[in-house]
A and B are shown apart, each in its own frame.
Chain A
Amino acid sequence: MTRSRPAEVPAPPDPARWIEVEHLHFVYPNGYEALKGIDLVIARGEKVALIGPNGAGKSTFLLHLNGIHLPSHGRVRVAGLDVTKETVKRVRAEVGLVFQDPDDQLFSPTVFEDVAFGPIHMGLPPDEVHHRVEAALAKVGMSGFERRAPFHLSLGQRKRVALATVLSMDPSVLVLDEPSAGLDPRGRRELIGLLRSLDQTLIASTHDMRLVAEVFPRTVIIDEGRIVADGPTDRILADDALLEAHGLERP
């Protein structure tokens, strides 16, 4: 450490600790303690699946990753940035969160405008916005759908557009809540292919064990607000007793 390093320049974030969650506790306003001390470190580029029974706190946890919930105790850090009320806007440019129900996220008359929302909000100039939209749609395989109304698309198509609306912001982290819910087998195959092709850091909460097995090398089990298992997917999914103890089953 040389003393000539200026005080304001922060150290570049450590890619091995791209997402750091330290002793995260979260209590809802009505007093319900949803998260009881989560510790988690995720490296840049990792793909991690979050599984667990309903009510375990998975969705609550995900909402901490882009500052929609702020910790009651503990700390969440993304790309070296502490998630606080002040940094929330920067965090959201870094972490793209895709919600379970695409209809909650699509509120523009055309696909183009929905995917353009993020870049426009970021203040990017029109041709950059255009470029980002085309790139995002291409990535999810929805090029050519720009003028279509999201309301008129199938569920699988809407899910892909919802993902595009987040990709266009060029985040380094993608967080997905139940990405395969409601998809038919073909939609699922397409989703699996899509997720494998992404090189962002990927965190997904899901009940779909086959999706977990095919896309995510690392699996974390959350139950009753705590992490009860964290390790390689094939080891965790082979442990029947562990799965059953937490209301899960094998793929």
Chain B
Amino acid sequence: MSGLSLDRYLPRESPIHALDARVKFVVTIAFILAVSLLPVGSFAAIGIAWGAVAILSGTAKLGPFRPARNAFFALPFVLAALPLVFTRPGEELLTLPFGLFTLRATLEGLIAFLTIALKSWVAVQAALLLAYTTPFHDLIDALRALRVPGIFVTTVSFMYRYLAVLSDEASRMLRARAARSGSRGGRSGGTLRWRATVAGRIVGALFIRAYERSERVYQAMLARGFEGTIRPRTARALHRAEWAALAIAVLLLAAFETAAQLWIPAA
């Protein structure tokens, strides 16, 4: 039983789901760019951006708050930005003495930190929404159509296909290791070096199995008439409506960005 759920895709009948993957991908990137470019402290603008994600998520019949809830896992990285709170000079908020030196939390620092944290949270939601509304294979085809070199697209395709299989092999091997990791009390576990070596050997064994599996895959492909190149389906042209949707989205984002830079009040 595979524990790895490999596709966040949640099928629904919605205009978002029906939209072409290429359009969705480009709009997602443009959206993330727009959010990333917002000035420090533009919480109102970030709020508007989040609102847009929520509305789109609702339109996609996923519930407006699902991306928000599920984007929290990205937040541990926020710790990387935490020092900002204490290193930006500005209006002091609180002081924490720590023996030799003191940490001074400032308003400017807090604003800078919150800006990054919230921007990131909204950006992850946009990526989640893309994943919820687009089957992975459509996303791959979209990348191919967007001129990503074939070798990447094919590798990602095969990789995705075998991800569950190889991850399962890895978990079974780790499980087998656990099954033999007993102790009757006293010092157990072997030395650190031995444990690292065993982990490395498991990786080595995984590699050999993966390589042998790829040989079998190649033979199966040959047996089905593979002749050396994967011939991709030519992507159909976008409908006028899809071009329109793309244009409207990009224009809206541009307008939003301009408004955020010039008019929307920031802290």
A–B touch (CB < 8 A): the answer is yes
A residues adjacent to B (C-beta < 8 A): 28-29, 66, 68, 89-94, 96-97, 99, 101, 103-109, 117-118, 120-123, 151, 165-166, 169, 171
**A123: contacting residue among B1, B189, B198, B204, CB under 8 A:** B189
Contact residue among A93, A103, A104 (Cβ-Cβ distance under 8 Å from B184): A93
- Cβ-based interface call for B176 (8 A): yes
**Closest B residue, CB atoms, query A92:** B182
Contact yes or no, B176 A120, CB < 8 A? no
Which of B46-54, B68-76, B114-122, B167-175 contacts the other chain? B167-175
**Which of B169, B190, B201 makes the CB contact (< 8 A) with A108?**
B201
Q: Tell me whether B180 and A103 are in contact (CB under 8 A).
A: no
Interface centre among A29, A122, A165 (most CB of B within 10 A): A122
Answer whether residue B232 sits at the interface, using C-beta atoms and an 8 A cutoff: no
CB distance from B164 to the nearest CB of A (A): 14
Please determine whether A121 and B172 come into contact, CB atoms closer than 8 angstroms: no
CB atoms of A99 and B182 under 8 A apart: no
B190 A107 Cβ-Cβ under 8 A:
no
Task: Check B178 against A107 for contact (C-beta < 8 Å).
Answer: no
Interface contact B178-A121, CB-CB below 8 Å:
no
A108 to B190, CA, bound (A): 15
Could you tell me if A109 and B173 are in contact, using CB atoms closer than 8 angstroms? no
B interface SS class: helix
Q: Which residues of chain B are near A166, meaning CB under 8 Å?
A: 179-180
Q: A210 to B73, alpha carbons, bound, how many Å? A: 51
The answer to whether A121 touches B176 (Cβ under 8 A) is no
Could you tell me if A118 and B182 are in contact, using CB atoms closer than 8 angstroms? Answer: yes
In the assembled complex, which residues on chain B have CB atoms less than 8 Å from the CB atom of A105? 173, 176, 180
Shortest CB-to-CB span from A61 to chain B, Å, is 13
With A97-B179, A99-B176, A107-B198 as contacts: A121 and B189 at CB distance below 8 Å: yes
User: Given A120-B194, A122-B188, A123-B189, A90–B182 Cβ distance below 8 Å?
Assistant: yes
Query: Chain B interface (Cβ within 8 Å of chain A)?
Result: 1, 3, 169, 172-173, 175-190, 194, 198, 201-202, 204-205, 208-209
User: Which residues in A have their C-beta under 8 angstroms from that of B187?
Assistant: 123
The listed residue (B173, B180, B205) touching A121 by CB distance below 8 A is B180
Closest to A118 in B: B180
Q: How near does chain A come to B212, taking the closest CB pair, in angstroms?
A: 10
Query: Which residue of B1, B183, B184, B208 contacts A151 across the interface (Cβ within 8 Å)?
Result: B208
The 10 closest A-B pairs by CB, nearest first: A93-B182, A92-B182, A105-B176, A104-B172, A123-B188, A118-B180, A107-B205, A97-B179, A89-B183, A123-B187
- Find chain B residues with CB under 8 A from A96 CB: 179-180
Nearest opposing residue in chain A for B174, CB measure: A104
Contacts of B208 in A (CB 8 A): 151
Q: Give 6 pairs: A residue, B residue, CB < 8 Å, sorted on A.
A: A29-B3, A90-B182, A105-B176, A107-B202, A122-B184, A171-B182
Q: Nearest B residue to A101 by beta-carbon distance? A: B172
Query: Of A66, A103, A104, A120, which is in contact with the most chain B CB atoms at under 10 Å from its CB?
Result: A104
Q: Contacts of A151 on B, CB cut-off 8 Å?
A: 205, 208
Find B173's partner among A28, A66, A91, A104 (CB 8 Å cutoff).
A104
Q: How far is the CA of A108 from the CA of B208 in the complex (A)?
A: 12
By the criterion CB–CB under 8 Å, are A68 and B178 in contact? yes
A104 pairs with B182, CB closer than 8 A = no
**Are B205 and A106 touching (Cβ within 8 A)?**
yes
Q: Could you list 14 further interchain pairs (A-B, Cβ under 8 angstroms) beyond the known A68-B178, A90-B185, A121-B183?
A: A68-B179, A91-B182, A92-B183, A93-B183, A94-B182, A97-B179, A99-B176, A104-B173, A105-B173, A107-B198, A117-B177, A120-B194, A121-B181, A123-B189
- In the complex, which residue of chain B has the Cβ closest to the Cβ of A68? B175
Complex: A91 Cα to B184 Cα, angstroms: 9
Q: Tell me the bound Cα distance from A169 to B190 in angstroms.
A: 14
Taking CB atoms, residues of chain A closer than 8 Å to B194 are 120
Instruction: Name A89's contact: one of B175, B188, B202 (CB within 8 Å).
Output: B188
Cα–Cα, bound, A97→B187 (Å): 22
- Neighbouring A residues of B169 by C-beta, 8 Å: 104
Docked CA distance A107–B179 (Å)? 14
